[in-house]
A and B are shown apart, each in its own frame.
Chain A
């Protein structure tokens, strides 16, 4: 087995009495495309949020690139009502805010596109470059970091060119067509310079042609940016086409994992999806 970039250990997320993610163990290999699938409400986005720091897991641990980026155990009220299937509590509490995790090299997109709507395409990407800024507030204000600023601008332009949005660079982002908005959101995530890219349903709302383009696009950026990709998706065609490894989630629990062929033939998966999604 090659190097593991991200792993989750016994991740359990409980809201009140509801266990949304139960004992999730995922290992994402470097330079591979891994997918997380499952019917609606299976807890996929919640898992994403736990990994990116949006939520703090109730119990479990997330390791990224060799460092523990999140660890928690049931505390206070949760101690009494904890209902996850993995009972042994972890011992430490490690909390990282999403921005810090992003700066460590993990970038994400959102299920319901969250662009900086009133800003231009160029600004959207340029802002993502801000997270690695070296100059302080004052040197940046007095443009003492001209070289850095110039590099940020140049990189942004280069990135936009690569993703084919350079012609739209001065458009207000919300005025772009849907497909391009998706692409811009991915470009914006790339601008933070990630090792791992998390895509939350990137093909949602796309027609088959657009989806095809997207899968080519994902493969392309994976190669040119040296990325590891982790995605949630409903479009099985897309998932089966590009994924190296797939995890299936249902009612918060992992019901299967394996390569696309294995998954396609897994009876538990078929059962979970029956009537839910075309397979």
Chain B
């Protein structure tokens, strides 16, 4: 494999990883607070793709992006209100089944509304501009993705560490009951968490689909699961961990495909998950907790 090929692969991997990282943050935030694998997160990401298609059909791109992000955020909050909130005191299995149910519903609903035929993702011209660096060529969005990801993560970290809502979020994720006793409005914090997670999924969706150009009702399933793995890998509840996990999975997956093991690229992600859970269940950067008897 020549140097250019390797560089090109790395670029692809980093770009993919950036999009994964943005989705993984949603998983990690929600899991940190509700201890719930939000199976529907991948489908929120997919729906954001459809929103963008429709928004861009009738608005110029800056407005379309704003519309898409707003609608996606609202959808995330709405899903939490409708499907998770009523089950807050139910056993964990029920809420997880509810999450799977939402995912099932979103997939079927979008199949019904938009048909299973892949929709072409509209181009935002400046994002698709092709850059040629030596023999490596890439579109602007490929280069933009990792940069934007890192900027967003820094902003998010600042928010979480320095604002009141951020503090509340951290408190809730440390101890749900105590936080509630301390007068934190749990529902607001959870809504905020879902809002941030969905917003980032929306951004990730725009970056991901602009680079990959087609949306189907099932586009969200596998990326969703992989990003969950990324979140676990980095240590669930840990934002920088999720980002590193996202990049890691993106790059390794790309390399596996590049080496001709595309059959195993998905399997690898899950193998990574299992190995990680067995060797270091708290993930790379997760904190160890002692279970009380």
Contact = CB atoms under 8 A, between A and B. Distances in A.
A49 B293 CA distance: 8
A45 B293 CA distance: 9
Contacts of B293: 45, 49, 54-55
A49 B290 CA distance: 13
B291 to A, nearest CB: 10
A15 interface: yes
Interface string A89-124: 000000000000000000000000000000000000
Contacts of B290: 15
Contacts, number: 5
Interface residues of A, number: 5
Contacts of A54: 293
B290 to A, nearest CB: 6
A201 to B, nearest CB: 14
Contacts of A49: 293
A15 B293 CA distance: 14
Q: How would you classify the secondary structure of chain A's contact residues: helix, strand, loop or mixed? A: mixed
B282 to A, nearest CB: 14
Interface string A245-270: 00000000000000000000000000
A54 B290 CA distance: 12
Interface string A1-43: 0000000000000010000000000000000000000000000
Interface in B218-264: none
Nearest to B293: A54
Nearest to A52: B293
Interface string A43-79: 0010001000011000000000000000000000000
Contacts of A45: 293
A55 B293 CA distance: 9
A54 B293 CA distance: 7
Contacts of A15: 290
B174 to A, nearest CB: 16
Nearest to B288: A16
A54 B292 CA distance: 10
A45 B290 CA distance: 15
A55 B290 CA distance: 10
B95 to A, nearest CB: 19
Interface in B268-293: 290, 293
A185 to B, nearest CB: 15
A37 B290 CA distance: 24
A48 B293 CA distance: 10
A255 B293 CA distance: 25
A224 to B, nearest CB: 29
B292 to A, nearest CB: 9
A198 to B, nearest CB: 13
B274 to A, nearest CB: 23
Interface string B40-65: 00000000000000000000000000
B194 to A, nearest CB: 32
Contacts of A55: 293
Nearest to A45: B293
Nearest to A15: B290
Interface in A143-183: none
A49 B291 CA distance: 12
B14 to A, nearest CB: 35
A110 to B, nearest CB: 8
B205 to A, nearest CB: 41
Interface of A: 15, 45, 49, 54-55
CB-CB nearest 5 A-B residue pairs? A54-B293, A49-B293, A15-B290, A55-B293, A45-B293
Interface of B: 290, 293
5 contacts: A15-B290, A45-B293, A49-B293, A54-B293, A55-B293
